[in-house]
């Protein structure tokens, strides 16, 4: 599929934002983060900015962005519509929770319940985003059981890294957040590597399997439907060379997983202070490069089965 930057930014920014808000909701409600006013202002401001910017960017690739609201009316059958509904609903408990944190400096009682409810809605929203792709059987590399957990864990990992940076800037319970960030990155790495291994082993659909005629290699296209490129091939048959894909996977694995974990371990060994803050900032910057690379690959490596009609050997 053609990797539109607006969708790449949407899935990465909103994923990190929902991960950050979910951790604020859960950790604040459990008393693992103090309801310090200015920390709350920056943390919630960052989270809401990420998800809002991501949601707005998701409309940029539409022909009529002003009609995007209509997608929310089909929630009974569409994961895209469910995502939109859940994204709007998430603002309510998280917004009230943020008000309690910032203005009243409270995360207990009813505010704790709001924080946990907001965290749950963040998880559901990211799951709906993942299912937009995982439900498409016509794109084999998306219709994969590793896609939903990968989206959830990558959102958690990037959100945890942002929260880690903020806790070091404000000197707030850094050890618990450091460990959470390290574990979330490791779990995300395990699932993403399993996904890459699965799509490498799976041969995908071929003209033979799609038609049910013969074995792979015995069914071929007699004549191409078009003599030149068209919209379908540009959008659904985007090609990235295998050697380039391997290199980009290595870059993503190093910058998104290996570097942040190594830096977190160095932070834990060095203790809180300016050095730890610098290492946290580098870890976040590295993860941003990594998640953008990972998400670009997620779209670029996926091909629609319609490309078999245009002569593709497999998808």
Predicted confidence at residue 86, as pLDDT, reads 94
Predicted confidence at residue 66, as pLDDT, reads 64
Predicted confidence at residue 235, as pLDDT, reads 59
Predicted confidence at residue 234, as pLDDT, reads 62
Predicted confidence at residue 175, as pLDDT, reads 87
Note the helical H segments in the chain.
5-29, 37-57, 79-103, 110-134, 147-170, 174-201, 207-211, 231-236, 242-253, 259-270, 274-300
Q: Whole-angstrom Cα distance, residue 57 to residue 122? A: 18
> Do the Cβ atoms of 54 and 211 come closer than 8 Å?
no
Would you tell me how many other CB atoms lie within 10 Å of the CB of residue 107? 24
What pTM value is reported for the model? 0.89
Predicted confidence at residue 64, as pLDDT, reads 65
Coil vs helix vs strand at 75: coil
Domain boundaries, the chain: 5-310
Predicted confidence at residue 140, as pLDDT, reads 85
Q: Whole-angstrom Cα distance, residue 275 to residue 295? A: 30
Maximum Cα–Cα distance across the chain: 71
The series of mean pLDDT values per 10 residues for the chain, 315 residues long, is 82 96 95 92 96 87 66 80 92 96 93 96 96 90 94 97 95 87 97 92 67 65 65 62 79 96 92 88 97 93 73 62
Q: Whole-angstrom Cα distance, residue 143 to residue 33? A: 38
Distance of CA 125 to the CA centre of its chain: 11
Q: Whole-angstrom Cα distance, residue 257 to residue 182? A: 9
CATH code of the region 5-310: 1.20.1630
**Long-range contacts, 237-241 (Cβ 8 Å, 24+):** 237/303, 237/304, 237/306, 237/307, 237/310, 237/312, 238/1, 238/2, 238/3, 238/299, 238/300, 238/303, 240/297, 240/300, 240/301
Q: Whole-angstrom Cα distance, residue 45 to residue 315? A: 42
Q: Structure tokens of 17?
A: 């934002």
């Amino acid at each position: 599929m053609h990797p539109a930057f607006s969708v790449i930014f949407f899935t990465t920014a909103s994923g990190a934002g929902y991960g950050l808000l979910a951790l604020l909701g859960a950790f604040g409600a459990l008393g693992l983060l103090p309801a310090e006013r200015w920390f709350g202002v920056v943390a919630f401001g960052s989270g809401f900015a990420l998800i809002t910017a991501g949601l707005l960017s998701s409309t940029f690739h539409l022909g009529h962005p002003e009609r995007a609201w209509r997608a929310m009316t089909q929630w009974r059958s569409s994961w895209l519509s469910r995502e939109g509904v859940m994204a709007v609903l998430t603002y309510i408990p998280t917004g009230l929770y943020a008000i309690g944190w910032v203005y009243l400096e409270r995360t207990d009682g009813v505010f704790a319940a709001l924080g946990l409810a907001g965290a749950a809605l963040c998880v559901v929203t990211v799951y709906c985003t993942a299912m937009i792709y995982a439900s498409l059987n016509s794109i084999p590399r998306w219709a994969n059981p590793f896609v939903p957990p990968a989206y959830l864990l990558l959102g958690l990992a990037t959100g945890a890294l942002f929260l880690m940076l903020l806790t070091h800037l404000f000197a707030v319970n850094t050890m618990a957040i450091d460990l959470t960030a390290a574990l979330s990155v490791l779990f995300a790495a395990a699932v993403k590597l399993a996904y890459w291994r699965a799509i490498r082993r799976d041969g995908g659909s071929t003209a033979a399997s799609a038609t049910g005629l013969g074995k792979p290699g015995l069914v071929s296209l007699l004549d191409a439907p078009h003599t030149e490129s068209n919209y379908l091939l540009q959008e659904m048959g985007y090609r990235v060379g295998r050697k380039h894909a391997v290199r980009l996977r290595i870059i993503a694995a190093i910058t998104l997983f290996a570097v942040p974990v190594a830096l977190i371990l160095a932070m834990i060994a060095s203790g809180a202070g300016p050095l730890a803050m610098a290492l946290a900032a580098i870890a976040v910057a590295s993860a941003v490069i990594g998640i953008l690379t990972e998400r670009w690959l997620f779209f670029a490596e996926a091909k629609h089965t319609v490309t078999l009609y245009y002569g593709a050997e497999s998808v």
